[in-house]
Structure 1
Amino acid sequence: MSKYRNRLTHSRFVIAPLDVVKIRLQLQIHSPTANFTHNGPLYRGIFPTMRKIIAQEGIAGLWKGNIPAEALYLAYGASQFLTYQQTHLMITKSGWEVPESVKSFIAGATAGGLATTATYPLDLLRTRFAAQGQEKVYQSIKHSVRHIIENEGAYGFFRGLGAGVIQIVPHMGLFFMNYEFARQYLSTVQQLPSGWSDAIAGSFAATVAKTGVFPLDLIRKRLQVQGPTRQKYVHRNIPIYAGIFSTARDILSAEGLRGLYKGLFVSLVKAAPLSAVTMWTFERSLKGLTWLEEKKIVL
């Protein structure tokens, strides 16, 4: 199991720069058709954004927020898959006559909602560290936690949680529903090497689910950087946002529909391979545990 956990950690480290680029693009308040007082770097595209970050903040700038992101990824994955398996098993044992796709949707939505709530403070810290430029808002994880508690209270760790839960419930429901559908279809393709159906199905499911709920992900990011440090991040012109619907309305009014999809492409580039690795590892882990159980081997 530690081998699989290490593989997940390594994959997260590799795609961390894409995460920073996505967050920077999502927080960028810029539109060619609106008048904005632009205060901060102007990012366009994945590689130009990376080059600008390296030039201004050094190579380490591409890994800002990676420590809370690593912790988030491991904790979220563990709680998500455990809840998914248990919920799916509970529905099966209940005797309800529901299609497998509906079981997967319900189990995925439940798992996503609970895992998001449990690990949300780590998600918020990841966003805030990735959003800070040359001027550090937080000096360390310890400093960030202390600063948020002193200046924002416990609520500060859960800014944007509503958008996160509303986003993740349909996202994970769609993800697991499409994953199971694609995996069953690909299992009939004889030419695929062992394990490839899980990886391809994971990539496909991630692309569909991520695109469907992306505006809520962007809204969540903008709500996460609200508070007393709002104007200290690399983008210093982030407006004051109050809630999910008012934030969506303000973005549509000021930046147009495209404003709700800033960073979508890099998000898909990041999510598809990461989900492929995650689902491949998940299926291999299940098979490994099943083998141990059959052999009556106690860990």
Structure 2
Amino acid sequence: MSNVSQHLLSGALSGFASTIILQPFDLLKTRIQQPDHLNKLKHSPLSPQSTLIFRTARDIVNTDGFRGLWRGTAASLLRNVPGVALYFTGLNQFRAFLATAPYFAPLRAPTASYSSSTLPKLTAQGNLLAGAVTRVAVGFVLNPFSVLKARYESSYYSYNSLPQAFMGIMRSGPSEIFRGAIASSLRDAPYAGIFVVFYEHIKGTLSRTVSSTSNSTTIPIPISTSTAVNSVSAAAAGALATLATQPFDVLKTKMQVRSETKYRGLLSTVLAIWRQRGIPGFFDGATLRMSRKIFSSAIGWAVYEGVLIAIRSP
């Protein structure tokens, strides 16, 4: 199996696993972000956001049953499986390219025996650039599927079939096909860049910690330990990157789900949210997105790098 095929397969399996397990988080996040106003909530010992999450989940289960929490899974798989596969493959290829430049190559190569990664090593600047450029490029190409995913998860649209919904979006022209693409790019570029920087830094620190506790300097980290290191590193990096980019996720969802004129442009969407909800409006669904990203990052990167390590093991 070629190097590119290995990364495509690992990325596809990663996207499939995280999507199937975590679809309810995406569904609830979309439902919470779609309205203009949050309902007035009665006093509760829980925070209003947590109360709203439970209310939304309860309403979905009451209406559509427990399986209703997985509404839009097919659309999510259509977006995430090729999206994650292309992202991981493109990220690896771009990082390998940047590693040939002295400016982006690390001054000191990591100890191979204790590396928990199969990926090229770069400086922080290289990781920031590689993550941002790759994520935006893949997101732009697959934006029609992102629109389809958001609308399938929304309660504002009722589609009879996935092909019908997709063809409807495609027939609407570029204005619908690339709806929310700018907001997605503003979210994805800093998210991916920040994520890769923190992921590699945390992973390197944890790997050195593991190696320092070993009595041998020649035995590599076991796959189980490597998986744990990758999962913890990805979860921590995902939390930090999510918090920094949440407002752009709200903008993307509004622009892709709502059809009103005020949500047609980026600036008009910003103003609409500001007038209706103020600063808290830009963090609607933050709890769900944070939870989803922590788990999806941990599962996704552990599966991706774990499959690569397993494939390449003698």
Q: Same fold (TM over 0.5)?
A: yes
Matched, 1:177 2:212: no
In structure 1, what residue type is equivalent to 2:168? H
**Residue of structure 2 in register with 1:141 after alignment:** 162
Instruction: Note the 1:242-253 alignment, pairs <5 A.
Output: 242-253=264-275
Give per-residue Cα distances to partners, 1:36-59, cap 9 Å, x unaligned: xxxxxx994333221111112333
**Residue of structure 2 in register with 1:38 after alignment:** none
Unaligned runs of 5+ in 2: 1-5, 41-48, 107-122, 214-223
- Contact kept, 8 Å, 1:175 with 1:206, in 2: the verdict is yes
**Residue of structure 2 in register with 1:157 after alignment:** 177
More moved, 3-12 vs 73-82: 3-12
Unaligned runs of 5+ in 1: 34-41, 231-238
Q: 1:270 aligns with which of 277, 292, 309?
A: 292
- Note the C-alpha offset of 1:289: 4.5
In structure 2, what residue type is equivalent to 1:141? L
- Contact kept, 8 Å, 1:226 with 1:240, in 2: the verdict is no
Matched, 1:196 2:228: yes
- Note the C-alpha offset of 1:219: 0.4
Give per-residue Cα distances to partners, 1:214-258, cap 9 Å, x unaligned: 11111001100244xx6xxxxxxxx73132122112211210100
Distance of 2:152 and 2:247 partners within structure 1: 21
- Contact kept, 8 Å, 2:10 with 2:305, in 1: the verdict is no
Matched, 1:118 2:136: no
Matched, 1:222 2:254: yes
In structure 1, what residue type is equivalent to 2:252? R
In structure 2, what residue type is equivalent to 1:215? P
Matched, 1:92 2:111: no
In structure 1, what residue type is equivalent to 2:25? L
- TM-score scaled by structure 1? 0.82
In structure 1, what residue type is equivalent to 2:228? W
More moved, 282-291 vs 73-82: 282-291
- TM-score scaled by structure 2? 0.79
Q: Percent of counterpart pairs with the same letter?
A: 23
Matched, 1:52 2:59: yes
Q: RMSD between aligned alpha carbons?
A: 2.5
- Contact kept, 8 Å, 1:8 with 1:277, in 2: the verdict is no
More moved, 52-61 vs 100-109: 52-61
**Residue of structure 2 in register with 1:131 after alignment:** 154
Distance of 1:97 and 1:16 partners within structure 2: 36
Distance of 1:15 and 1:284 partners within structure 2: 19
- Contact kept, 8 Å, 2:12 with 2:85, in 1: the verdict is no
Q: 2:207 aligns with which of 174, 180, 187?
A: 187
**Residue of structure 1 in register with 2:263 after alignment:** 241
**Residue of structure 2 in register with 1:260 after alignment:** 282
Distance of 1:107 and 1:23 partners within structure 2: 28
In structure 1, what residue type is equivalent to 2:162? I
